[in-house]
Chains A and B, each alone.
Chain A
Amino acid sequence: MKPAPFDYYAPETLEDAVALLEKLEDDDVEAKILAGGQSLMPMLSLRMARPEALVDLGKIKSLDYIREEGGNISIGAMTSKRAVEDSALIREKQPLLHAATLHIGHRQIRNQGTVGGSFAHADPAAEYGAIAQALGMEMVVVGPDGERVVVADDFYISFLTADIDSTEVLTEVRAPVMAAGTGWAFQEICRRQGDLAIAGTAVTLRLENGNCTDVVIAVFGVNAIAARLGDAEQLLNGKAPSEALFREAGRVASAELDEPISDVHASGEYRRDLVATLVRRCLLEAVERVG
């Protein structure tokens, strides 16, 4: 269980990285970006991923930051998940992102794994997919033609595929600061604590005159990509929160899913039903958090 041979590059600047990716592309070399490697390394060792070249972003120190700017929390792609976990700024201003981070893998994974690596890997069971959808996050991608900003909904294309060209690098993700008075919740079902989720849900909402408004429900672990559940959101907007309403929202959410993934841990029908439960429970928790 050892990786197949590859060439290894560790550019020290973003410009060098993009130039290198472009050159490899021109030379017809299949390259893959290494950004921490907590998902890629097992695939390399199992020889399931066999890139001809690895471009390690680990030496690009300029991509390691967390800052608040223009109403957003901006996180450099090479920032570790542990840094997010330890960030007082994020805990205070974007608590949903913070809560989700605590669910990612184990401490060792969060220490070495990067934020950008996780977003770019686009694993359907990854917590950040749902957070991106729930918060309408923006991804900054830099390539030979400069920088472009992609919204979450466009960013995730399909199973393990994000909107990043082979000559591009994800450099930053941006989450809006959570508005005061927002209720939120994040819950997931795993076989063991720290495992990839079988199903998970992120919810944000507000209350206006005692009614739900701005309801956002995102689900992950169930379909090929994380997604918003519009039917359930719509059902809730403008209605007074109640156990019965949330139960109904769960049913609607469950019904609007694409055909769920089935694997050794959970059948598709089980995952579908878990979403109903998770949505209901998250809504209850989110409303409680509004206070």
Chain B
Amino acid sequence: MAITIPGSPQDMPTTAPRYVGKEVKRIEDPALVTGTAEFIDNFALPGMAHAAILRSPHPHAKILRVDTSAAEQMPGVVAVLTGADIKRWCNVGTTAPEGWGSTPMAVDKVRFVGEPVAAVAATSRYVAEDALELIEVEYESLPTVRNPQDAVAADAPLIFDNQPSNVIQDRTYTWGEVDQVFDDADHVYTEKFRWNRVGANPMETFGCICHWDVVNNSLTCYGSYQTPSFIALGRAASLNLPSNRVRVVSHPHGGSFGGKGGPRGTDIAALLSRKANGKPVKYIEDRVEYLLAGAGQSWDRYYQASLAVTADGKLTGFKVDLVDDQGAGAEGYGTISAAKPLAAFTGCYTIEAAQYHMKLVATNRAPTYAYRGYGPPPHNVVLESMVDIAARDLGMDPVDIRRRNYIQPDQFPYTIPSGNEYDSGSYAAVLDKVINMSEYQAMRQQQREAREQGRLLGIGVVNTVEPGVFDWNAYSTVGVPGVGVPEGVKVAIDILGHITVTLGFTLEGQGQYTLAAQLVADYFGVEMDSVRVTYASTDVAPPHFGHGGSRLGVALSGAIMGACKKIEEKFRLVVAGLMQCEPDHVELMDGHMRVQGMPGAEMPVAQVAGTMLGRSDLLPPGMEPSPEATYVWTADDRNEPDDQGRCKSYLTAANACHIALVEVDRDTGITQILKYFIVDDCGTRLNPANVEGQIQGSVAQGVGAVLYEEYVYSEADGQPLVSLFSDYLLPGIHEVPMTEKAFIETPSPVAPLGAKGCGEGAIHTTPATIVCAVNDAIAHLGVQTRETPISPNRLWKLLQDVVEEN
């Protein structure tokens, strides 16, 4: 039976939604503000041991010998794990493209600083760390591949011996008549950019407790897992277990932003448990481990881009040449980050042809992982900077050149050159709103006056598309198979009418449990408080993926609407039987099943559920007494990619326009954000407070990436130079701008309730906005910044060149 998912909150069986679309308080919060949420390190199993991991100090070296005998003798140590165990028990992890994976612990050689080499489980973490100091490892240094230049040098040492070179992928995708468009252009602008490594850094690092049941040969992993079922499959493959013998229990986690899941840490804790004859083993990654080698490094990119423009400012072609330093292999799916820009390659613009040269190389840096936005944020810095370069040369205002090139509302659904289809948008309306809100012209005046006093003020105007609701097909260019990302929930009403929603992901911060309660409460006309949302581990939950790719709000809405609808259909049959009418004449509205045309002939939902469970004699013959339903949602109408990677991938296209006013201190190179304005459009806002929180939080991460954060590696020897929070600079309360926000709602015509994915949000836009603002402040001096983060030292150096020239 085909289920129709409501395309708008108005289509829900309620006269007026009481919760959906409202700033409701989050049901997650009482546990969190009292400190009672069960984060993984708050959880313990009886008899549990504690793991610590010995990590490589070398970027590239052979392991000649590992001697653990002293550690094994140490009182309190219950198990020691080395490469020899790994060889015996583990498979190399799968990657996309294939063949660039690792085992959870180095066996014959290490490929990056921080790679696990041995591990200990002991009575406490203190004792485990003491024991690590007793392990002797003899290394033979190998030449270090410090960066992509090293990686492709003629005599480059191979990082993966099973591969012919260090190049993971080198391919060009061409969309439309690129050569023609560039030949015909009045202007072609070409520039280079450098985006240095940044990453997620949730406040909680990864942690897990693994319990290997040695009798039944099965594994349970409790931990902070963003995508539990995906992790479970990976563990089964890595640890040689059938997939139904791995059970993952995801605990609430203290933020994730892409990478949380610790496959290596999980495998190591699992094997320590196996070696300790089934004793549970807890592993809590510490911050130094996270910064050196956790799932916290992303986007290490060298760009060259060209933009084709007509004399009157029409953007016609866009070429991007990307060299992406993936680090030591593809275990963290950093490759996908390079593929994702296809979903919004040409931004908000009607650019007709495009080309993408993707060269992904392996180096001896830490492997790269997913991070919020998953690739487009750097791409958008390039695209939006190029647009500003064209505007500056043509003497156009950055606002005007953008407006000139927007996809217009009547052009949707709109297929971009790289193949994705945008669902809807009102780009000019968003721009107008933010221009009004920011008093853009007055800011320009302020800028002119400041400049007369020798001060450097700059304004950035940047708009981007946020692809929402990812699909695997978006990543086919790096070898990811599949179409569709199922997300399932179970909705069940008990005999007293209380409703429980069961789902396969846990708390991470975005407030989806609240959303689930909002949706169910409005659907069945009950109080939100009475809806319970509960987590199910991978072995019992419906098929699910969880958080990721700005999809969960939309996917969850689809799954919940589907499940509710299925229950409604059952109730229709029950009530039709009781009231002796046609099922088609029964409808659900405001919590009651009503018979059309028979005033007063109605039953509350709770009563129908109670009847189903308690009075089988009243049910239609053969009917299952089950007032519950599971529905697994995936986006409709997704297709297989063509040979240029083109397909309908991300379901929704949210967009936003940001305007920032910054001041650059010419003497110190410090950039200060004076004002920051945002108008966004993510379709229906199911919980506006949640949306605002995602935007502001994502501004903070964008500010971090563009001004503060960087994983610095030594140019001389490839050693990582950042392993502390005093060196990896997360922006604090003084550094993040307090933004002024407004919105427009252009509902998605294709997504459940008209909502668009918005969780990754402003990180798509903020880095580009600040880069453009800084360049607006300094371009008249003859210099521009093309490298992030725009640290004071970097910007000072640029301005220094000007001073010296004068």
* Contact (Cβ within 8 A) B731 A1: no
* Contact (Cβ within 8 A) B130 A195: no
B727: interface (CB < 8 Å): yes
Interface size on B, residues (CB 8 A): 32
Q: Which of A191, A198, A277 contacts B667 (CB 8 A)?
A: A277
For the complex formed, measure the closest distance between the CB of B54 and the CB atoms of chain A, giving whole angstroms: 13
For the complex formed, measure the closest distance between the CB of B486 and the CB atoms of chain A, giving whole angstroms: 39
* Contact (Cβ within 8 A) A267 B793: yes
* Contact (Cβ within 8 A) B668 A277: yes
B734: interface (CB < 8 Å): yes
* Contact (Cβ within 8 A) B287 A1: yes
Q: Which of A46, A192, A198, A266 contacts B735 (CB 8 A)?
A: A192
* Contact (Cβ within 8 A) B130 A196: no
Query: From residue 456 to 514 of chain B, which have CB atoms closer than 8 A to chain A?
Result: none
Query: From residue 240 to 291 of chain A, which have CB atoms closer than 8 A to chain B?
Result: 264-267, 270, 273-274, 277
* Contact (Cβ within 8 A) A194 B130: no
Q: What separation, in Å, do the CA atoms of A274 and B668 have in the docked complex?
A: 6
B797: interface (CB < 8 Å): yes
* Contact (Cβ within 8 A) A191 B708: yes
Q: Which of B133, B286, B727 contacts A1 (CB 8 A)?
A: B286
Given contacts A5-B130, A189-B670, A274-B668, contact A264 B732 (CB under 8 A): no
**Which residues of B have CB within 8 Å of A264?**
710, 712, 721-722, 727
**Which residues of A have CB within 8 Å of B729?**
191-192, 195
Q: What separation, in Å, do the CA atoms of A273 and B726 have in the docked complex?
A: 23
Q: Which of B126, B791, B796 contacts A273 (CB 8 A)?
A: B796
A193: interface (CB < 8 Å): yes
Q: What separation, in Å, do the CA atoms of A3 and B125 have in the docked complex?
A: 10
For the complex formed, measure the closest distance between the CB of B756 and the CB atoms of chain A, giving whole angstroms: 34
Q: What separation, in Å, do the CA atoms of A273 and B729 have in the docked complex?
A: 23
* Contact (Cβ within 8 A) A266 B130: no
A4: interface (CB < 8 Å): yes
* Contact (Cβ within 8 A) B793 A1: no
Q: What separation, in Å, do the CA atoms of A4 and B708 have in the docked complex?
A: 33
* Contact (Cβ within 8 A) A270 B732: no
* Contact (Cβ within 8 A) A265 B734: no
* Contact (Cβ within 8 A) A195 B667: no
For the complex formed, measure the closest distance between the CB of B146 and the CB atoms of chain A, giving whole angstroms: 16
B783: interface (CB < 8 Å): no
* Contact (Cβ within 8 A) B712 A46: no
Q: What separation, in Å, do the CA atoms of A47 and B125 have in the docked complex?
A: 14
- Binary per-residue interface labels of chain B (692-733) against chain A in the complex, 1 for a CB within 8 Å, 0 otherwise: 000000000000000010101000000001101011010110
**Which residues of B have CB within 8 Å of A42?**
724
Query: From residue 651 to 690 of chain B, which have CB atoms closer than 8 A to chain A?
Result: 667-670
**Which residues of B have CB within 8 Å of A273?**
796, 800
Q: What separation, in Å, do the CA atoms of A192 and B736 have in the docked complex?
A: 10
* Contact (Cβ within 8 A) A196 B735: no
**Which residues of B have CB within 8 Å of A47?**
129
- Binary per-residue interface labels of chain B (345-371) against chain A in the complex, 1 for a CB within 8 Å, 0 otherwise: 000000000000000000000000000
* Contact (Cβ within 8 A) B667 A265: no
Given contacts A2-B129, A264-B721, A265-B791, contact A195 B668 (CB under 8 A): no
Q: What separation, in Å, do the CA atoms of A195 and B735 have in the docked complex?
A: 12
Q: What separation, in Å, do the CA atoms of A265 and B726 have in the docked complex?
A: 10
* Contact (Cβ within 8 A) B796 A270: yes
B792: interface (CB < 8 Å): yes
B781: interface (CB < 8 Å): no
For the complex formed, measure the closest distance between the CB of B250 and the CB atoms of chain A, giving whole angstroms: 25
* Contact (Cβ within 8 A) A270 B797: yes
Query: From residue 762 to 806 of chain B, which have CB atoms closer than 8 A to chain A?
Result: 791-793, 796-797, 800
Closest to A274 in B: B668
B288: interface (CB < 8 Å): yes
* Contact (Cβ within 8 A) B129 A270: no
Closest to A280 in B: B667
**Which residues of A have CB within 8 Å of B288?**
1, 46
Closest to A1 in B: B286
For the complex formed, measure the closest distance between the CB of A137 and the CB atoms of chain B, giving whole angstroms: 27
Q: Which of B129, B710, B722, B732 contacts A192 (CB 8 A)?
A: B732
**Which residues of B have CB within 8 Å of A194?**
732, 734
For the complex formed, measure the closest distance between the CB of A277 and the CB atoms of chain B, giving whole angstroms: 4
Q: Which of B708, B726, B734, B793 contacts A270 (CB 8 A)?
A: B793
**Which residues of A have CB within 8 Å of B668?**
189, 274, 277
Q: What separation, in Å, do the CA atoms of A147 and B731 have in the docked complex?
A: 45
- Binary per-residue interface labels of chain A (1-38) against chain B in the complex, 1 for a CB within 8 Å, 0 otherwise: 11111000000000000000000000000000000000
Closest to B665 in A: A277
**Which residues of A have CB within 8 Å of B793?**
265-267, 270
Q: What separation, in Å, do the CA atoms of A274 and B729 have in the docked complex?
A: 20
Q: What separation, in Å, do the CA atoms of A285 and B129 have in the docked complex?
A: 51
Q: Which of A189, A193, A265 contacts B732 (CB 8 A)?
A: A193
**Which residues of B have CB within 8 Å of A1?**
129, 286-289
Closest to B287 in A: A1
**Which residues of B have CB within 8 Å of A4?**
129-130, 133
Q: What separation, in Å, do the CA atoms of A198 and B670 have in the docked complex?
A: 12
- Binary per-residue interface labels of chain B (281-305) against chain A in the complex, 1 for a CB within 8 Å, 0 otherwise: 0000011110000000000000000
For the complex formed, measure the closest distance between the CB of A207 and the CB atoms of chain B, giving whole angstroms: 25
For the complex formed, measure the closest distance between the CB of A200 and the CB atoms of chain B, giving whole angstroms: 12
* Contact (Cβ within 8 A) A192 B731: yes
Given contacts A1-B286, A2-B125, A265-B793, contact A192 B130 (CB under 8 A): no
Closest to B669 in A: A270
For the complex formed, measure the closest distance between the CB of B56 and the CB atoms of chain A, giving whole angstroms: 17
Q: What separation, in Å, do the CA atoms of A196 and B726 have in the docked complex?
A: 8
For the complex formed, measure the closest distance between the CB of B783 and the CB atoms of chain A, giving whole angstroms: 16
For the complex formed, measure the closest distance between the CB of A143 and the CB atoms of chain B, giving whole angstroms: 33
Closest to A5 in B: B130
Q: What separation, in Å, do the CA atoms of A266 and B792 have in the docked complex?
A: 8
Q: What separation, in Å, do the CA atoms of A202 and B727 have in the docked complex?
A: 25
Given contacts A265-B791, A273-B796, A273-B800, contact A192 B708 (CB under 8 A): yes
Q: What separation, in Å, do the CA atoms of A5 and B729 have in the docked complex?
A: 31
For the complex formed, measure the closest distance between the CB of B789 and the CB atoms of chain A, giving whole angstroms: 10
Q: What separation, in Å, do the CA atoms of A273 and B668 have in the docked complex?
A: 8
Q: What separation, in Å, do the CA atoms of A36 and B381 have in the docked complex?
A: 45
**Which residues of A have CB within 8 Å of B735?**
192-193
**Which residues of A have CB within 8 Å of B669?**
270
* Contact (Cβ within 8 A) B792 A191: yes
Q: What separation, in Å, do the CA atoms of A274 and B792 have in the docked complex?
A: 11
Give residues in A with beta carbon < 8 Å to B.
1-5, 42, 46-47, 189, 191-196, 198, 264-267, 270, 273-274, 277
Give residues in B with beta carbon < 8 Å to A.
125-126, 129-130, 133, 286-289, 667-670, 708, 710, 712, 721-722, 724, 726-727, 729, 731-732, 734-735, 791-793, 796-797, 800
9 tightest A-B CB contacts, nearest first: A1-B286, A193-B734, A277-B667, A2-B126, A264-B712, A270-B793, A264-B721, A266-B793, A2-B129
Can you sample 23 A-B contacts with CB below 8 Å? Answer: A1-B286, A1-B288, A4-B129, A4-B133, A42-B724, A189-B792, A191-B729, A191-B792, A192-B735, A193-B732, A193-B734, A193-B735, A194-B734, A195-B726, A195-B729, A198-B792, A264-B710, A265-B793, A266-B792, A267-B793, A270-B797, A273-B800, A277-B668
